[in-house]
């Protein structure tokens, strides 16, 4: 790796980012599709959609798992000069880059209901479920190894978190960044109230959590 600062993005967040944008539009498209009789009828369409839902969920979950495992196994410790990208920024960047694809996928799912009612929407929802499952699988790896997986932002723009341009992952401690293992939003610990009558501040742990989110 070259010298100087470089940006890292969480692998699990990248995997998880599309899930919500496929799940809810997929369910909406399936709901709209149920209202359309279609060429095959609602019963056949829903049954076919259920099969596609399971197939998509399983396929998305297992695809490239070996690649993720190999990259994680060879991960190196992140340097001190790294910049850790926030979870919200990662999701926003992904959404902006794929918003037209999402719109086309939703339109195609609704349009397919004229042939197979609800099938296209259930296919989208199944892909979302597979992504969530894969993010949870990555989260279990992170918990087992007490480390978070990160990847440089440059190759991700060209091929995703496990694309051919990704040469390796980096690791940090589990307190780094603002996302928990698996890419979910990190839950903040409740503030500890000051002891009654002492007037003392409960300490800097809670107040400093935001400032320390980017530390490794």
User: b/e per residue, 141-152, with b = 16+ CB within 10 A?
Assistant: bbeeeebbbbbb
- Angle at 109 (CA atoms; ends 87, 183), nearest 5 degrees: 15
Q: How many CB atoms within 10 Å of residue 51?
A: 14
Instruction: Return the minimum-mean-pLDDT range out of 18-27, 82-91, 180-189.
Output: 180-189
The answer to whether position 111 is within a domain reads yes
Residue with the two structure tokens 């993720």: 68
Q: The pTM is what?
A: 0.82
Average pLDDT over residues 67-79: 93
Note the pLDDT of residue 40: 85
Note the pLDDT of residue 9: 94
DSSP 116: S
* Range(s) of the domain holding residue 100: 7-186+203-214
Average pLDDT over residues 201-214: 37
DSSP 183: S
The answer to whether position 178 is within a domain reads yes
The answer to whether position 197 is within a domain reads no
The answer to whether position 34 is within a domain reads yes
203: left (phi over 0), alpha (psi -120 to 50) or beta: left
Residue-wise pLDDT tens digits, 179-202: 999 999 887 654 444 444 434 433
The DSSP bridge pattern shows strands 148-152 and 170-172 to be antiparallel
Contact 170, 162 (CB under 8 A): no
- Cα(71)–Cα(177) distance, rounded to whole angstroms? 20
Per the structure, the count of domains in the chain is 1
Instruction: Return the minimum-mean-pLDDT range out of 66-75, 91-100, 122-131, 153-162.
Output: 153-162
Structure tokens at 157: 């723009």
- Cα(22)–Cα(60) distance, rounded to whole angstroms? 13
The answer to whether position 112 is within a domain reads yes
The answer to whether position 78 is within a domain reads yes
Long-range contact pairs involving 158-161 (C-beta distance under 8 Å, separation at least 24): 160/14, 161/11, 161/14, 161/15, 161/68
The answer to whether position 1 is within a domain reads no
Average pLDDT over residues 77-92: 91
List CB contacts of 123: < 8 A, sequence separation 6 or more.
26, 49, 52, 53, 56, 109
- Cα(65)–Cα(61) distance, rounded to whole angstroms? 8
Residue-wise pLDDT tens digits, 97-156: 999 999 999 999 999 999 999 999 999 999 999 999 999 999 999 999 999 999 999 888
Average pLDDT over residues 45-51: 94
176 pLDDT more than 60:
yes
């Amino acid at each position: 790796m070259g010298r100087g600062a470089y940006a890292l993005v969480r692998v699990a967040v990248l995997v998880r980012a599309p899930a919500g944008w496929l799940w809810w539009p997929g369910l909406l498209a399936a709901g709209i599709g149920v209202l359309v009789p279609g060429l095959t009828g609602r019963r056949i369409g829903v049954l076919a959609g259920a099969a596609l839902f399971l197939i998509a969920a399983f396929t998305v979950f297992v695809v490239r798992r070996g690649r993720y495992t190999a990259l994680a196994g060879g991960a190196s410790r992140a340097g001190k000069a790294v910049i850790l990208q926030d979870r919200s920024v990662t999701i926003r960047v992904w959404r902006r880059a794929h918003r037209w694809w999402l719109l086309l996928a939703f339109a195609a799912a609704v349009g397919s209901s004229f042939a197979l009612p609800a099938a296209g929407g259930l296919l989208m929802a199944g892909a979302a479920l597979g992504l969530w499952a894969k993010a949870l699988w990555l989260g279990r790896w992170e918990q087992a190894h007490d480390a978070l997986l990160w990847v440089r932002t440059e190759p991700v723009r060209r091929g995703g978190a496990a694309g051919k341009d990704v040469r390796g992952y980096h690791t940090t401690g589990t307190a780094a960044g603002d996302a928990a293992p698996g890419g979910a939003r990190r839950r903040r610990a409740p503030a500890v109230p000051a002891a009654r009558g002492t007037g003392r501040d409960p300490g800097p742990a809670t107040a400093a959590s935001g400032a320390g989110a980017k530390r490794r």
